[in-house]
Amino acid sequence: MSNYKSRFTVKYLIVITPDGFVCKLSKGYGGRATDSFITNDCGLLSCIEPGDTVLADKGFPQIKSELLKRNALLVIPPFAFDPQFTNSEIDETYKIASVRIHVERAIQRIKLCNILKFIPITLLPHIDAIMHMCCVIANSKPPLIKNSEASN
């Protein structure tokens, strides 16, 4: 039960391709599961190949060592250790945010399936299949990013 949401919650790890399509969906986890636990448990890290770049938010610093073992790069927004970012940190944050917006847009496409607003407890055993179908519906829409934009 989530005090914040006032109901039971399920969390997923969703992996997006550079052009905005969902390419991996984890199984559902209880709302208290941490992002790092889900990432380590769902098998995503075994799919990472040398040279891959993983964009994540600030909740994922614990996977950095695992990605280094696989010769992959973790890109997360910088943390502000002083009251203000340096100019290079501002530039880096802007570059990450300009890509991250597409991840948020892809997740929004999934959330637009109105069935996800409220799922009765009787459908909880089917939540992974429901989420999978919402991702299929989201992937049936045109790419979020044009090819020339995705290659940048």
Average pLDDT over residues 54-74: 84
**Which pair of tokens denotes residue 43?**
């098998």
Top mean pLDDT of 51-60, 86-95, 102-111, 141-150 is at: 102-111
> DSSP code of 47?
G
**Which pair of tokens denotes residue 50?**
């040398």
Average pLDDT of the chain to the nearest whole number: 84
∠ CA(26), CA(31), CA(35), 5° rounding? 55
Q: Could you list the beta-strand ranges (E) of 103-149.
A: none
Domain boundaries, the chain: 10-48+81-140
Confidence of residue 7 (pLDDT cuts 50, 70, 90): confident
In the predicted structure, residue 21 carries a pLDDT above the cut 50: yes
Q: Using a pLDDT cut of 90, give the percent of the chain over it.
A: 34
pLDDT tens column, 81-119: 667 878 887 888 778 888 888 888 999 999 888 888 888
